[in-house]
Every structure is written in C-alpha cells, then in structure tokens.
Amino acid sequence: MSYLLPALVGLVCFAMLAAAFVAIRGAGMAIAILAAGLVSLMASVLFLVLAAPDVAMTEAAIGSGLTTFLLFFVLGRVRGGEKEEGGHG
Amino acid sequence: MVKRLVALALLAVFGLVFATLLTGYAPDAELNQTARYYAERTAADLGAANIVTAIIVTYRGLDTLGEVTVLFLAAAIVGLVLAEGAHDRSRMRPPVGELLTTGTRFLVPMILLLGAYVFVNGHLTPGGGFQGGAIIASAVLLMLLADPLRHFSHRLISAIESLAGILYVAIGIAGLFLAGGFLDNRILPLGNLGELASAGAIPLIYSLIGLKVGAEFSSMLASLSETEEP
C-alpha cells in the first residue's frame, strides 16, 4: 500500500512529461494544443492524488477545459498564418 | 548558438535548484502553528466543514476580493480589446452537426446544475465560487460551440457581474459593523456544522463569487466568439 501512492505519482508525472514533450515536438498545432490540455488534466489528477481536490477542480475546469478551447479558438482565427513564422509548426 | 547555450545553462541552474529542493524535502511530522490553528479552530469559529473554503472566504477574504478584482479587470480588458473587432453576424455558417446540438441540449442544464451545486456547497464539499463559476462558463462555451451565432446579452451578463460584486463588498462592509471585521462571515447565524444553511455568510459570499466568475468567463467567451472571422 505504501508503494502505491509514489508509483501512481510517478506514473502521472511521467505521463505529464511525455504529453509536454509531444506538445513541444508534436506534429501539428492541433495535436500540440491537445497535448497541452492533457498536461493540465494530468496535473489535476496529480492534485487529486495529493489530496488537494479544490485545486484539482480549478485545474480541470480552467486548465484543461477553458484554456484548450481558447487555444483552439485562436488557432481557428489565425489558421493559415501559423506556418509563416518558420518555426517547428 | 550562444542563445541555445544560455538557455541550456539556465535550464541546468533550474534543474540544480529543484534537485536541491527535492533532496532536502521531508514531510512535516505535524502541522505547523498556523495550520494547526486552522485545523482546530475553523469548525468552532466559523462553522465551515471545508477548511480550505473557510481560509479562502473568511480568514483570507481580502485576498479573495483582490483575486476577484483581478479577474474583473482581465474580463473588462478582453471586452475592451475585442469590442473593436465586433461585426454584423448575418452571414450563414455551416450547421455544426446533430450530435453536438442534441448533446448540448441534454448536457447544458446538467452542467449548470453542477456549477450551482459546486458553489452553493462550497463550505461543505471541495470546490466553491471559482470552480463553480468556471463550470457554468463551460456550459456557456458548449452553447457557443453548438450555435456560434447565438447572441448572449452583454447587458444581462454585466448586470449579474456588477450586482454580485456590489453585494460581495456590501456583505464585507456589513461584517465591519455586525461582526468582527471586514468580510467576517458571522453576520449570519453559524448553524449546525455540515448543513447547507450553515457557516454564516460563506455560502452567500461563495454563491456571489460563483455568479461573478461565471459571468466574467462567459462575457470573455461571448466577446471572443463575436470577433470577426478572417
């Protein structure tokens, strides 16, 4: 039982790092936004595991809900101009 | 090249700082003085079952008023900046699909109910005004996704927002005269611990914060959806 919590925390942290890597290096902007939302979702799971349900609710509602929508919305508005920066897309 | 080296060096320094913090971390065996005060006295002093809410709304109520003010400023600035791009919305858009429309009709009332539940029960269960407000805004977001041409009355939203803000400050000032100080929740009877109508003014204040935050987020989303398509 005592190993369960650290193992869960480690797993969630690893998933967060993987999602963050996908967000930076992933193929395409839409996948990057989804991955960034996933990082927030994992963070809210982590807060829940660490016994902070109040923070977890805020993170889930704002971090992975409204922010993801906002980024998608802006992506829809600037569509077509995103490649001109010469970045990694 | 130099830029990349500087970035790497900065990352290394950050890594070092966090590694030192992590290796030096040991969980406290017992609560420190402040935490112990909150854990032992909250139920008796303020009648709130959720200690986090008691700290946010009453012990640190002034900070929360500041937070709400910051959020209000952010919403006001978004509205100000995006009002420039407002346009006539007569153009037809393609339908968004049966699944989203029907799902929205089914889900929006339930999401609104959950949001109201979260902020009304802020003193009993996890969550509160900020979380409930964000949940209510996500219902507005769903309505906007299902029907992008839907128009939300900005006058109604700002009326709700201003009224909630004024009442919040008024309750705070009432605490000065009727109880121990600004935003003291004991202007109303504390009631029995764990009941919905308990903890003095906390449910009232958190409901007002929930309405205010929900209205602010909704107004941001509505202004965003009213901006011009490129």
Q: CB–CB of B127 and A54 under 8 A?
A: yes
Per residue in B166-207, pLDDT (tens digit) is 998 888 888 888 777 787 777 777 777 777 777 778 888 888
Q: CB–CB of B217 and A66 under 8 A?
A: yes
Q: Which two tokens stand for residue A33?
A: 């936004």
Q: CB–CB of A61 and B217 under 8 A?
A: no
Q: What mean pLDDT, rounded, does chain B reach? A: 83
Pick from A8, A23, A26, A9: which is nearest to A64 by CA? A23
Compute the average pLDDT of residues B66-85. Answer: 84
Q: Which residue of B has its CA nearest to A79?
A: B230
Interface ipTM above 0.85:
no
Check: CB of residue B180 under 8 Å from CB of residue B186: yes
CB nearest to A66's CB, from B138, B145, B229: B138
Query: What pLDDT band is residue A87 in, cutting at 50, 70 and 90?
Result: very low
Compute the average pLDDT of residues B72-86. Answer: 81
Q: Which residue of A has its CA nearest to B50?
A: A54
Compute the average pLDDT of residues B113-141. Answer: 87
Q: Which residues of chain B have a CB within 8 Å of the CB of A54?
A: 50, 52-53, 126-128, 131
Q: What pLDDT is recorded for position B41? A: 80
**Percent of chain B at pLDDT above 70?**
93
Chain A touched by B27 (CB under 8 Å):
no
Angle at A42 between CA A34 and CA A68, to 5 degrees: 30
Q: Where are the domains of chain B?
A: 35-79+96-225
Q: Which residues contact B186 (CB under 8 A, 6 or more apart)?
A: B46, B175, B179, B180, B200, B201
Query: What pLDDT band is residue B16 in, cutting at 50, 70 and 90?
Result: very high
Distance from CA of A12 to the nearest CA of B (A): 17
Per residue in B29-73, pLDDT (tens digit) is 788 888 888 888 877 777 778 888 888 888 888 898 898 899 889
Q: What pLDDT is recorded for position A86? A: 45
